[in-house]
């Protein structure tokens, strides 16, 4: 019998679900291989759970979602988060650094209609997660490989080394060494196939911290290339909720405040 797949959305831009739809030819093969039982972005036809594999996009930002994720976990045999929002809170976790009331009153004409939590948290902060797939958005090749492994009851392989390995496998010349371009590649989790450095740009850290990283050493290197403010910002983008990036961001902010007080 075919495995049953569900795709869930929480606070997110839908880009990771779109990566699944963007598989096109392979998406048809996926529809053959599994029973797509719940995937509102693709079909309004819903089949009830339980589901063999749930892919979860988005972070938890509302009281309602706090309850809904518990229900998703209850009906899922295996649960895999897809993308930066579900895995580390996403760009919307920038609210964690600020006052949410100020944000809602600046953005919405009638802020009293907005019911939201003060934080944006990853799925793993609320339920147990079996697998996490990084990226903003996820890489479709990696997504298909992992889904293929899981529906065939094999352990998925997701390399946790830094982007530098993917650069070298492609034969890229290091943009930091040969161009002096700031690059988060040495501390960023692989998976994108070194997309930005392959086009002579530095890595922006879309896949969050690699399993082993030396953020402090990279920060010292970035200090030759970027301003203090720019370095603080580069650690507070799509993965600002990932502990290694958040700690460095907070530390840099503290140092800046101290520096200003001293001067």
Partner 1 sequence: MSEDISAELVLPRERCGELLELVVKKGYRLIGPKLEQGAIVFGPLRGVDDLPEGWTDEQSPGRYRAVRRSDASLFGYAAGPRSLRRFFQLPDVELVVLRRGQDGPRLDYGSGDTRPIALIGARGCDLRALAIQDQVLARGAYPDPRYVARRANTLVIAVQCTEPSGSCFCTSMGAGPRAELGFDLALTEVVDAERHHFVVEVGSERGRELVAELALALAAPRLSSEARERVAGAAARMGRRFEEAAVHDALLANLEHPEWDRLGERCLSCTNCTLVCPTCFCTTSEDRIDLTGDVVERHVRHDSCFSEEFSHLHGGSARASIRSRYRQWLTHKFATWYDQFGSSGCVGCGRCITSCPVGIDVTQEISVIGGEPCKLNP
Window of 95-103, 119-127, 211-219, 237-245 that interacts with partner 1 by CB under 8 A: 211-219
What is the C-alpha separation between 81 and 86, in angstroms, rounded?
6
Our measurement of the distance from residue 87's CA atom to the centroid of its chain's CA atoms, rounded to an integer in Å, reads: 5
DSSP state of 161: S
Contact yes or no for 76/49 (Cβ under 8 A): yes
What is the C-alpha separation between 36 and 47, in angstroms, rounded?
9
159 binds partner 1 (CB under 8 A): yes
223 binds partner 1 (CB under 8 A): no
> In terms of DSSP H, where are the helices of 40-83?
63-74
Binding mask 13-52 for partner 1 (x = CB under 8 A): -------------x--xx-xxx------------------
Nearer to partner 1, 1 or 154 (CB): 154
Residue 70 exposed, middle or buried by CB count within 10 Å (0-12, 13-18, 19+): exposed
Residue 5 backbone dihedrals phi, psi, to 5 degrees: -110, 135
Window of 73-81, 83-91, 95-103, 171-179 that interacts with partner 1 by CB under 8 A: 171-179
Which of 2, 47, 101, 168 binds partner 1 (CB under 8 A)? It is 168
Which of 19, 76, 120, 172 binds partner 1 (CB under 8 A)? It is 172
Q: How far is the CB of 220 from partner 1 (least distance, A)?
A: 7
DSSP state of 255: H
Q: Counting every residue, how long is the chain?
A: 263
DSSP state of 58: S
1 binds partner 1 (CB under 8 A): no
225 binds partner 1 (CB under 8 A): no
Q: How far is the CB of 29 from partner 1 (least distance, A)?
A: 5
DSSP, collapsed to helix, strand or coil, labels residue 189 as strand
- Pairing of β 51-57 and β 34-39: unpaired
190-209: contacts with partner 1 (CB under 8 A): 200
Which of 91, 218, 244, 252 binds partner 1 (CB under 8 A)? It is 218
Q: Which residues bind partner 1 (CB under 8 A)?
A: 26, 29-30, 32-34, 144-145, 147-149, 151-152, 154, 157, 159-162, 164-165, 168-174, 176-180, 183, 185-187, 200, 211-214, 216-218, 220-221
């Amino acid at each position: 019998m075919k495995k049953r797949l569900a795709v869930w959305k929480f606070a997110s831009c839908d880009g990771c679900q779109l990566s699944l739809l963007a598989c096109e030819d392979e998406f048809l093969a996926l529809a053959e291989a599994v029973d797509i039982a719940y995937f509102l972005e693709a079909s309004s036809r819903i089949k009830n759970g339980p589901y063999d594999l749930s892919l979860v996009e988005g972070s938890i930002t509302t009281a309602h979602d706090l309850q809904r994720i518990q229900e998703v976990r209850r009906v899922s045999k295996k649960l895999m988060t897809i993308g930066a929002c579900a895995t580390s809170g996403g760009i919307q976790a920038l609210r964690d650094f600020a006052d949410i009331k100020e944000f809602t009153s600046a953005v919405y004409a009638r802020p009293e209609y907005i019911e939201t939590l003060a934080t944006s948290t990853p799925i793993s902060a609320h339920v147990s997660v079996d697998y996490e797939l990084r990226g903003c958005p996820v890489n479709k090749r990696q997504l298909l490989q992992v889904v293929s492994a899981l529906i065939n009851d094999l352990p998925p392989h997701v390399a946790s080394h830094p982007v530098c390995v993917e650069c070298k496998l492609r034969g890229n010349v290091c943009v930091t060494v040969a161009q002096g371009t700031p690059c988060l590649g040495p501390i960023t989790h692989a998976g994108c196939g070194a997309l930005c450095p392959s086009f002579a740009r530095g890595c922006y850290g879309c896949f969050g911290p690699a399993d082993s990283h030396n953020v402090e050493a990279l920060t010292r290197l970035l200090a030759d290339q970027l301003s203090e403010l720019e370095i603080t910002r580069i650690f507070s983008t799509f993965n600002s909720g990932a502990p290694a990036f958040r700690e460095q961001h907070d530390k840099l902010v503290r140092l800046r405040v101290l520096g200003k007080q001293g001067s």
